[in-house]
Amino acid sequence: MERFLLAAAVVVVAVIVAVLLERRRPEAPTQGSWTVPAQLDRADFARPDAPWLVAVFTSATCDSCAQAVERAKVLASGAVAVDEAEVKARPDLHRRYHIDAVPIVVVADAEGVVRSSFTGPPSATDLWAAVAAVREVDGDHDT
């Protein structure tokens, strides 16, 4: 019986220690959120007269940025302008739109309203589907 009481006491002490240690554990750090613009001035980007813009905010030192640009370039057409804003080449745009992480890809309409966006490199399928979806909503079927 003494062994049982001793084992029970050890288990109780272990549970109390575990609970106390869990309470002392600090909260997870606040996770940052990256700014994605809600509106663009189309005059800041290539072909402001195109019905749609895919703007890719990048850095030359970012491997995933190159992937995002390559995936976006495929979407270029008469109706879709694709423009890369690399931070060293166009720092004014990164400051103006508060871009503090790359790649950021935005799909904007003719008025510059951002209709879809990606923080991080989108898959080709996701990017193409996003452009198709916003064009479909607006009834834009031209290429």
Residue 11 domain flag: no
State the CATH number of the domain containing residue 70. Answer: 3.40.30.10
Burial 52-65 (b: 16+ CB within 10 A, else e): bbbbbbbbeebeeb
Residue 119 domain flag: yes
| Residues 82, 75: Cα–Cα separation, whole Å | 7
CB of 68 closer than 8 Å to CB of 121: yes
Residue 116 domain flag: yes
Phi and psi dihedrals of 67, rounded to 5? -65, -45
pLDDT reported for residue 16: 82
Residue 49 domain flag: yes
Residue 72 domain flag: yes
> Could you give the number of structural domains in the chain?
1
Q: Rounded to two decimals, what is the model's pTM?
A: 0.74
User: Residue 119: which domain range?
Assistant: 42-137
Residue carrying structure tokens 């290429």: 143
Q: Of 32, 119, 84, which Cα lies nearest the Cα of 130?
A: 119
Residue 9 domain flag: no
pLDDT digits (tens, 9 = 90+) for 47-64: 999 999 999 999 999 999
pLDDT digits (tens, 9 = 90+) for 97-129: 999 999 999 999 999 999 999 999 999 899 999
Residue 92 pLDDT greater than 90, yes or no: yes
Residue 32 domain flag: no
Percent of the chain with pLDDT over 70: 89
Residue 95 domain flag: yes
What does the chain come to in residues? Answer: 143
pLDDT reported for residue 12: 81
Residue 18 pLDDT greater than 70, yes or no: yes
